Amino acid sequence: MFGKDIASSELKLDQSCIFIQEERPAELSPSVTGRFSLSLAQPAAFKSIKVRLRGMLSISIEGLLGSEIREQLTFDHEQALASTKALSAFQMPAGDHEFLFSIPLPPKMFSTVTSPHHDYHKYNVEVVIERRLKSDFVVSQPIHIYQLCGLEQSYLRPCSPLTLEGQSDQDIQYCISLADRNIPFGCTFPVECWFAPLCKGTKLNAVTVEVQERQSVRLDATAAESKIDFADGSEPTGADLMETEWRINTSVCLPRTLGGCSQSISTKHIKIKHVLIVKAEFCTEEGEISAEISEVIPIDIYMTPCVIGENGFIHGRDVQQLQGNDHPPPAYNDHLSDLIILTAADVDLCGRTIVTEMNLERSSSQSSSSSSSSDPAPLYV
């Protein structure tokens, strides 16, 4: 598999998911760090060993003869791990070797964009071993890189509530409300519906709520469009039934895997939009369908380190928990009187205080570490 000289190799990244901020100075931008382990069964001669980070934009085009993948390189940075300038190749002894690397990232990059059926833009870290008289030996690992959105770059995240009111042709008044149209990736958000028919004998039969992703991709005069329903339609529960009106509260849970859906994005090449579709069906007292209401509400799904960890794990939360306390920060003089003693489990990655229930899916060792004592943290000066 590896050849006579290379016994084994392994590429490890310290982080599989990185967020970058455009306003941050270049010297403070994060880096892609990791290590490459190489085991040689016998001495070997190599021309060079290098690590590189590549970004690739790709589009799948359906044609008469099948599908075709068109690609375009968006980012390419490489770094030498071992090389020689005086000789055409250098000799490495048999045994285990390890190379550390750190690839600095610019403050502005094109974000990773993935979907259930295709990865539109992705990054890969590759280690390339150039060998004499042999093909290159390549080891790669994917990495997700996201540009921090403007909502995460201020202390007070603006809330954008959305309320849609109307009256159908069948004289049914309705109101659909969202606490915030900006939804963090992988989170759960509430939807409130209210229906009131003006005529008697009309009953609410069913309500379905689903999220639809609409994709439009263009690359070198080539375009592709598609739609994906990644949140299955379901009947909301918790309806307050009355003779003249219905009020329904439900929660919509977004996929909690990075490939489950995409974020909302609009660039020169990729445009991905998300809409919330609410459908209500009404019937007569005899059970015949008498009216249908369908509303399409635009929403924005954005990536945030509050939900996505460095290892790419999605910490699915409720939007209302992430919003936390919406009160403004205290005046400068009042900060001195604040008593802040928090454990690591009380603060999320953005520094906001949140109260959450214990995640039962965590291991026992993680649970015990989260419930640490409330002793104040050491002071570093």
Which tens digit of pLDDT belongs to each residue from 187-208? 999 999 999 998 888 899 999 9
C-beta separation of 94 from 42 below 8 A: yes
63 Cβ neighbours under 8 A, 6+ residues apart: none
Q: Give residue 217's pLDDT band: very low, low, confident or very high (50, 70, 90).
A: confident
Whole-number pLDDT of residue 243 = 62
On the question of pLDDT at 379 being above 50, the answer is no
Whole-number pLDDT of residue 159 = 76
Which tens digit of pLDDT belongs to each residue from 264-275? 999 888 899 999
Question: pTM of the predicted model, to two decimals?
Answer: 0.75
Q: Give residue 33's pLDDT band: very low, low, confident or very high (50, 70, 90).
A: very high
Whole-number pLDDT of residue 226 = 63
Rounded CA separation 260/254 (Å): 8
- Which tokens sit at 119? 């990865």
Burial class (CB in 10 A: 0-12, 13-18, 19+), 378: exposed
265 Cβ neighbours under 8 A, 6+ residues apart: 111, 113, 271, 272
Span 358-381, average pLDDT: 34
Which tens digit of pLDDT belongs to each residue from 68-77? 788 899 999 9
- Rg (C-alpha) for the chain, rounded Å, is 27
Whole-number pLDDT of residue 133 = 81
Span 11-35, average pLDDT: 89
C-beta separation of 206 from 280 below 8 A: yes
Whole-number pLDDT of residue 352 = 30
Residue 161 Cα distances to 53, 74, 101, 277, 301, angstroms = 40, 36, 45, 17, 14
Rounded CA separation 17/356 (Å): 24
CATH architecture of 156-302: Sandwich (2.60)
The CA-based dihedral angle spanning residues 300, 55, 78, 147, taken in that order and rounded to the nearest 10 degrees: -10
Rounded CA separation 310/358 (Å): 20
Helix (H, G, I), strand (E, B) or coil at 70: strand
User: Has domain 6-148 been given CATH number 2.60.40.640?
Assistant: yes
177 Cβ neighbours under 8 A, 6+ residues apart: 161, 162, 163, 164, 191, 192, 193, 194
Residue 277 Cα distances to 160, 225, 248, angstroms = 18, 19, 15
Highest mean pLDDT among 50-54, 283-287, 325-329: 50-54
For the chain, what are the domain ranges? 6-148, 156-302
Dihedrals phi, psi of 364, to nearest 5 degrees: -65, -35
Whole-number pLDDT of residue 220 = 59
Rounded CA separation 215/225 (Å): 5
Instruction: Give residue for tokens 């970058």.
Output: 20
The CA-based dihedral angle spanning residues 235, 237, 240, 245, taken in that order and rounded to the nearest 10 degrees: -10
Rounded CA separation 240/250 (Å): 12
Amino acid (1-letter code) at residue 209: V
- Which tokens sit at 138? 């390549």
Rounded CA separation 168/175 (Å): 11
Whole-number pLDDT of residue 152 = 62
On the question of pLDDT at 156 being above 70, the answer is no
Whole-number pLDDT of residue 294 = 95
Amino acid (1-letter code) at residue 109: M
Q: Which of 296, 255, 303 has its CA nearest to residue 275?
A: 296
Instruction: Give residue for tokens 């649970």.
Output: 367
Rounded CA separation 280/293 (Å): 5
Write down the mean pLDDT value for the chain.
79
Highest mean pLDDT among 24-28, 147-151, 186-190: 186-190
